[in-house]
Amino acid sequence: MEFDVSRTVMLVPAGKTEGIFPAALGLVKALNDHGIKTALFKPFAGELDKDQEGKTICRACAYQAISAGKKSDVLEKVVANFHNLTDNEKPEIVIVEGVTGTPFDKDLMNADVCHALDADIITVCNGSCKGNKAAIDATLLPFKNAGKNRVLGSIEINHKAPRNAQGKRNLVLSGCAHCCSANGDSCSCKSESSPAAVTDILAKIEFSKENYAPRACDIAALIGGEIVSGDQNRRGFKVMFQGEEEKELKVLLTSSVPASTKAGIVILCDGVAGEIAGATVIKTDKSVWAVAEALAAFPAELVSDDEERAAYVADFAAKSIDDKLINLISEYDRNRTPLMSPAAFRYQLASSARAAHLRIALPEGDEPRTVKAAAIVAEQGIAVPVLYGNKEQINKVAAEQGVTLGEGVEIVDPEEIRANYVDRLVELRAKKGMTPEKAVETLKDNVFLATMMIERGEIDGLVSGAVHTTANTIRPAFQILKTAPSAKLVSGGFFMLMPEQVYFYADCAVNLNPNADEISEIAIQSADTAKAFGIDPRVALITYSTHNSGKGVDVDLMAQATELVKQKRPDLNVDGPLQYDAAVMPSVAAQKAPGSTVAGKATVFVFPSLSTGNTVYKAVQRSADLVAIGPLLQGLRKPVNDLSRGALVDDIVYTIAVTAIQAAQAKNN
């Protein structure tokens, strides 16, 4: 699978920072001005924006989906929109605007997006006092290792922002949130005994009221009002009431029609109607105080169609971006190890399978989870699912599952086609005593029948195991399809979709007690599988000892297997024996395996026995409630993949996608 090579930097708001578009737009413009092709990606539309299909997701729509337990779907769509951007614009660098404000838990959401896009991080904060360190630390807590270790520094926005007499903001963002200083340079939190906590400030973008002056049309949209006269693009900066000093950039709130005003925008409240010469008039049924409250919380976000404001903000903010920050972002280590997030992995699986559009056999055609998965696969265009069984019974199960099997789903009645494969099965298995009578009986097994169709090239791959045992699923493949010319054995592994990244576990399904040579082959197969699916293979051979810290049969076994892998495939990054914690935790790796290029950052895990591998994968999957795709069978001439009998619908969907990709790769080899 091919992946984008763009560097991704996400601007993450810290604490109560509400508007980061000046930093985002300024950074994009500054990078482009330096000849570095840069694009801005906004995962979620602002409060005043709408869903833009293929570009950004309506915030309310995303929140509804997440509330319904479909966060993974939302993140996958974020990844899809990101790839649309990079595929179309082909930027060198993408700046991602982090989520601000409600209704999300913004820190959790930003962490999820950061992991999904494998982004480096620049935090964005208001002011420069010690309160920002606490805000940044709290913001980064959900990011865990996949994010926190990749923070480049911070950008301070609204430097020297003013406050009103009450210390409150009015349609602006404030200065130091900790001590309420109006001037970041004179912040009372800065002292010899209490130095500024944020020492890695990469840029300071000063306050400009024009950055935050919304248009009359934006104000009307926020309060549900109607513009009755004047220029809808006129901007208002500060709220005022009757009796206060009137200026062009002020917004006058009143429940009566003034004879004249110097205010640029007048909001007539309580249903009052009228026109005022020289002013833009907005009418609303809301009270003065209700409108004032709404405007006090005006979202400091850029409305997508406000091109004038965007241009001004970009120019203004770019002036604060110096060469140091430009170089920090542009001098990108292309050898940095990428992380494959679950959302990115699912997207790549679906898109690659969709491009192949192959026929995948599902012999357990009337099994409820399988039927539901087939409907999803067909609807999303991932593959052409072929269900085996009685059409009437299958449609009945579909109805019970609340799904409709459309034209994209094929149903094969075994009774109608079984006789077509008797002669070929006899031909293939004659030396094993296969007779026509035995062939007829054997082909009553839908897995055998579907495998014969694969052998004939009529079907591209097979997924089974929701009902059948692993042996039932793979035995026909061993007998009919055989192993690939380059394979010495068949092994089984799982893609484990962890919260932050995707791992590959093997062997969890086939080989009971493999010897050192067999384990080395499993490790090599697993590394190649991981690489084929976009995961940088860093192979850890797992047991209860790290290197020579312990003794025992399994320790010797994995040590020997590690050496064999190094001999057979010196190009692979492999280490063992390693304990699991040493393989995944950098802090433990530093103590137990210093200098290892695998420990602390392993992506492929090879276990000493089927018992260990199967136990570990099930324990992790069920305890962490995550998707496990597989078992993926490695080493067969054509793809046949097993399912756990406890497989979830999503597990089946993505196993079908994996199978389709394997089939496409087999066709190309």
Closest CA to 231 of 262, 256, 254, 265: 265
pLDDT, residue 180, reads 42
Confidence of residue 2 (pLDDT cuts 50, 70, 90): very low
The DSSP secondary-structure symbol of 337 reads P
pLDDT, residue 182, reads 40
Distance CA 158, CA 187 (A): 14
Distance CA 634, CA 529 (A): 8
Tell me, what amino acid is at 74?
V
Q: Is the pLDDT of residue 176 over 60?
A: no
- The 3-state DSSP class for residue 219 equals helix
Q: What is the pLDDT of residues 453-492, one digit of tens each?
A: 999 999 999 999 888 887 888 889 989 998 888 888 999 9
Distance CA 306, CA 299 (A): 14
Q: What is the pLDDT of residues 575-591, one digit of tens each?
A: 989 999 999 998 899 99
Find where tokens 């004047």 sit.
Answer: 230
**Left, alpha or beta for 398 (phi > 0: left; psi -120 to 50: alpha)?**
alpha
Confidence of residue 562 (pLDDT cuts 50, 70, 90): very high
Q: What is the pLDDT of residues 269-304, one digit of tens each?
A: 999 988 888 899 999 999 998 888 888 766 656 666
Q: Are 641 and 632 in contact (CB under 8 A)?
A: yes
Token digits for 628? 């496990």
Tell me, what amino acid is at 279?
A
pTM exceeds cut of 0.85: no
Distance CA 326, CA 30 (A): 8
Lowest mean pLDDT, pick from 185-194, 248-257, 341-350:
185-194
Q: What is the pLDDT of residues 391-450, one digit of tens each?
A: 999 999 999 999 989 889 999 999 999 999 999 999 999 999 999 999 999 999 999 999
3-state helix, strand, coil in the chain (%, to 5): 40, 20, 40
Q: Average pLDDT for residues 608-616, to the nearest whole number?
A: 94
Distance CA 106, CA 99 (A): 6
Q: Average pLDDT for residues 188-195, to the nearest whole number?
A: 38
